[in-house]
Amino acid sequence: MATPTRAFLDDLAGRGHVSWLEHERGRLRLELLDEDCMQIWTVAFENGDVTVDREDSAADAVLRIDRAWFDRAVSGQAKLMPAVLRGEISLDGSYGLAIQFSRLLPGPPGQAGPGKVRERGRPSE
């Protein structure tokens, strides 16, 4: 049975092109720690084209994460960048690339769309 992490990364690999990433270039290596072993995944952005592989190659950013925690993130139950800022996740390299990757993660379960942003001086609907 596939883990939530594996399902997310397989789905991401199948997307191919993500239009809002058309000006992004770089490689992000995920080092997923699971008990006494480490799984390595590399996500590459090339002008909107997204590829995922298992290579341990040079990267512009490296995220070292507990795999169980990442399972929660890819299920929408945890947020990547707040955890980085709190020091719960190690990030070396490009914060911008990590932010773009975090935008690919799903929102909370049951979320129907982006939250409404209230305009200054106007009550939310």
Please name which of 61, 62, 64 lies closest in space to residue 88, comparing C-alpha atoms: 64
Percent of the chain with pLDDT over 90: 70
Residue 33 pLDDT > 60: yes
> With bands split at pLDDT 50, 70 and 90, how would you rate the model's confidence at 119?
very low
Q: Collect all residues with Cβ–Cβ distance below 8 Å to 78 and sequence separation of at least 6.
A: 69, 72
4-102 folds as Nonspecific Lipid-transfer Protein; Chain A (3.30.1050)
* More confident position, 26 or 56: 26
Residue 124 pLDDT > 70: no
Tell me the per-residue pLDDT of 52-62, one tens digit each, with 9 for 90 and over: 999 888 999 99
CB-side neighbour CA atoms (13 Å) of 86: 7
Residue 31 pLDDT > 50: yes
Tell me the per-residue pLDDT of 65-76, one tens digit each, with 9 for 90 and over: 999 999 999 999
Predicted TM-score of the model (pTM): 0.81
What does the pLDDT read at residue 1? 59
Residue 123 pLDDT > 80: no
Query: Within 10 Å of residue 40's Cβ, how many Cβ atoms?
Result: 15
Residues 64, 62: Cα–Cα separation, whole Å? 6
Per DSSP, what are the bridge partners of residue 44?
27, 51
